[in-house]
Chains A and B, each alone.
Chain A
Amino acid sequence: MNKNEFLKRLSGNLSRMSGEERDEIMADFAEYFDCAVKEGKDEETVCARLGDPKKIAKEYYSQKMIEEANSKKTFKSMGRAVAASAGLSLSNFIYAVCVVAAGYIVIAALYIAVCSAGLAAFAALIGSAVCFSAYNPLLVLLGIFLSAALLSLCVIGFIGIMKLAALFRRGNMKFLNMTKRVILGGSDNE
């Protein structure tokens, strides 16, 4: 591989970066080649020492995703950050997917449970009110009271789950940052 081939491959793999970012990266590597060639190194050797352009591009991309996830903290950018950082190593991948997937499943299950309980309580509330005229008013009043109580419990539960989900997202960010810098300072600046 020579300089042009290397830069072409790098640029081709940086398609997901913004044009400005890509230009800057390309300029950095072009400068590197110029300096190395001036020192009498041939382009082939320089390419070999730089390593696989695809891997370098992946590194940039995973970094960008982590930065985005750090600033936005949404489920979508979280997922992309997990995928990008996992792309760096297989063991990280399996671990990240297991941890994150398990967390999402638990949160989703809780979410569904509370939502359906809420819906059921709401239906019971309406049902009780509708039956008010036809049946024993005292029993129906009890029904209304119980379903209203259940409904408010569900609302509290729902808020709790949202809090839990936010906490989990933050935890994920810590985990991702940790895999990025295993020993040095992973948790210091987050």
Chain B
Amino acid sequence: MLNIQLKKGVLELCVLSLLKRNDKYGYELVAEISKNIEISEGTIYPLLRRLKNEGYVETYLEESKEGPPRKYYRLTEKGESTRKVYHKEWVEFIVGVNSIIGGDEYE
């Protein structure tokens, strides 16, 4: 399995990118991520708390049709500019790594 720290860093970019599309509640976010990436789902919540404390996302409560209100996460302007930087860095990183390890095996 890939280094856990590496995954954690990428997870931050994933959360910010998902929130760029539309506001989501916790379960939705986690489900969307774990559909694509193998993770311990519980680790997303500490990450969400940090993103909130750093001002990248903000939260609000919204009524749901079934049951109690849900906590939604929304990307802030600061979050969006950070997402852009991370995205750029990620692409550069991937290109760099691929040119070292070679992509032939999976083509």
Contacts and interface: CB of A to CB of B under 8 A. Distances in A.
B4 A35 contact: no
A67 interface: yes
Contact of A31 (B40, B43, B66, B70): B70
User: Size range of the interface on A?
Assistant: 20 to 34
Contacts of A20: none
A111 B53 CA distance: 37
Q: How extensive is the interface on chain B, given as a class?
A: 35 or more
Contacts, number: 93
Contact of A184 (B3, B13, B49): B13
Nearest to B97: A183
A62 to B, nearest CB: 9
A60 B49 contact: yes
A39 B16 CA distance: 25
Contacts of B27: 31-32, 35-36
Interface string B29-42: 01000100000111
A185 B9 CA distance: 9
Given A51-B40, A51-B42, A89-B4, A31 B26 contact: yes
B45 interface: yes
A113 to B, nearest CB: 38
Nearest to B8: A181
Contacts of A51: 40-43
B80 interface: no
A56 B50 contact: no
B89 A183 contact: yes
A100 B21 CA distance: 42
A23 interface: no
Sorted from nearest, which 10 A-B pairs have the closest CB atoms? A51-B40, A35-B27, A50-B42, A184-B9, A59-B46, A56-B42, A182-B5, A51-B42, A183-B9, A181-B9
Given A35-B26, A184-B10, A184-B12, 8 more contacts: A29-B45, A31-B25, A34-B67, A50-B40, A51-B40, A180-B8, A183-B93, A185-B86
